[in-house]
Chains A and B, each alone.
Chain A
């Protein structure tokens, strides 16, 4: 086939730079999460640890359409969102290992990290609780008239929480600048969407409130970016909330201790082989001439180094000082 393909036009440099950035960002999340899984296996990370492997295109595509000042909030499957907002992998990994150098000084862990600087508002452990909070972020954007938008991520499990609809109602009523991104990875822990959600179309759950919504292939970063541009423009333009349902898939279990017996190996293998967001983009980069194998290998190595440095930091940063037990409970007035 290759021999018969017509010579393609040279790709636009800006397009290439963007695509390579998305490739790198997704790969960083993938390698970071694989390493987190490994450190969990070694006992260096404790408690709950929910990996984002497979879903990388969703957050990378969404943030590709965001701009400086926009806010991001999500649930507890949050490492990918932190990395995508530009948070330092060292600080994220050190929080996973419960060390002083972690974003929350080791007091929050996997599910509770924040960065005011990067406008990442967590990291919330209660399913659905981040949805009113994200709506409140949007409320503040509108109150301050700063032109920013709240990107509020939730899973297919959270979509059945009552507070989500309370939020939809207020966001639509007050035309708040918020994009709700439902990351539909097909399973809320071990329960498939079909067994938990009445009605098939999660993106249509905002319809009674007049909130437009659409489905998007969450395994394709360019498709996500395109949908995100439309959704964010809607919210930023004063037209109120928008709902995106990204069809995605998590390769790993719900958390590290989940053997994922509720789905077949074939199902997982098929997604990985046929729909992997990183493989898909890699292929596109090569086919369309945005990069050659060598350039991609360089990115692979860079990402591997970043993760190695983060891992080293996360193991050498000391545990929190015992005095930290009693700090950060209240702000001194």
Chain B
């Protein structure tokens, strides 16, 4: 039977074109791959190749014809010995062609219907103020609808954040032989900030690996190792240097599970100090919390205390997904009580109420949790009881804990070291608009790093970063004091 040769679409946007020239004439034999015609598209002149072999039986559209719709038959290809006097049996009309039906550039018209019971239902137009899920972020909500109380982890002993991080890695490396640590100066130097002290001695050079200064390369290498059955911990000397590697973190680690239909999990932890240290100027002082928290496919954690650091890092290493673990250099040397139980591990996606209060909620993460607690003491003396929430996890974000707190205090201050524009505070403020607008007695207020590259001069640097005093001022403002 004769085969129709159809007007091809030769670019993603082409709907019609001109048949510029036939390079074969009726009666010519053609093989698959032979160029048979030239077609002018909306962008360029393209060659059309035969897909099947046979004899060019009949040219249906002469050279020079313009505005030929895609999928219009332009010629008939006869098989050996076949005559083409009869019309072919089936003949799709151009208008019925798949491209006409395709909805390529348009947004999907379907309502998302997530399977998981925890995932939200489709948005309801008449939703009451507390209704969940008018947000496009709804799918990334933490799994628990109601935050569980902080479990009692038993006995504690004082440890620095630095020790807690090291102990978390060591315990997980003892537990799982596929866990390994790589990064600059992590082995023989014992860590640029001494976080990996002692690990080389215990686990050897196979599992504690000094890399060259080559962030893009070793991050991609870690991702490949994770695809192939290992659980890498990739240490960045600071997250500032991870900008060299962000393509591998986002495009390779975060997106591949989705792009593979769920086949290619990437169990990897990217960790290191984030944000400003002291007087190291703009290139070494950026907070990347909102950069990574923006991206589906990642989990983003930011511990404050040593107990956070240990419990969350263990959880991150066990997690089957890529986890960004944002530490803080200033906290490394600070001591906190840490549960001594070998079973101690924290859930990802849960915030912790560090200090209960009834007049205003202050949300912070990492170093700023300490500042918020200091601010709360000042406010107490003024008769304002602040509830301080330590976020711990930025993605998934524990909005339930925040919403419950705001419904109690009706006032909210967010604190972060990063820039205000599109920051974590901006996101939380928007979510409060969506989820508990009617409970707010004052606009949500942000305390952030100022919208400037961080200056070197001591006085300017101090002015540019959040401080307990700026948190106190913001809290007074939302309490109309």
Contacts and interface: CB of A to CB of B under 8 A. Distances in A.
Whether both chains belong to one complex is answered with yes
B224 A134 contact: yes
A131 interface: yes
A105 B262 CA distance: 9
Contacts of B65: none
Interface in A277-333: 321-323, 325-331, 333
Nearest to A31: B32
Interface residues of B, number: 78
B227 interface: yes
Contacts of B178: 143
A41 B206 CA distance: 51
Given A35-B51, A166-B218, A333-B319, A326 B119 contact: yes
B383 interface: no
Given A40-B9, A261-B44, A323-B115, A133 B223 contact: yes
B90 interface: no
B221 A139 contact: yes
B194 interface: no
Contacts of A18: none
Nearest to B71: A42
Given A139-B224, A166-B217, A329 B263 contact: no
Nearest to A331: B320
Interface residues of A, number: 74
Contacts of B260: 103-104, 108, 112-114, 122, 328
A101 B9 CA distance: 24
A214 interface: no
Contacts, number: 231
Given A105-B261, A121-B227, A137-B224, A46 B12 contact: yes
Contacts of B222: 136
A322 B247 contact: no
A34 interface: yes
A163 to B, nearest CB: 5
B479 interface: no
Interface string B292-311: 00001101000000000000
Interface of B: 6, 8-12, 32-33, 41, 43-47, 49, 51, 70-71, 97-100, 102, 104, 108, 110-116, 119, 139-140, 178, 180, 206, 211-212, 214, 216-230, 247-248, 251-252, 256-265, 296-297, 299, 318-321, 348
Given A103-B261, A329-B257, A329-B258, 18 more contacts: A43-B97, A44-B98, A47-B12, A114-B263, A121-B224, A121-B228, A125-B251, A132-B218, A136-B221, A140-B224, A167-B220, A170-B214, A170-B217, A256-B10, A328-B261, A329-B140, A329-B297, A333-B319
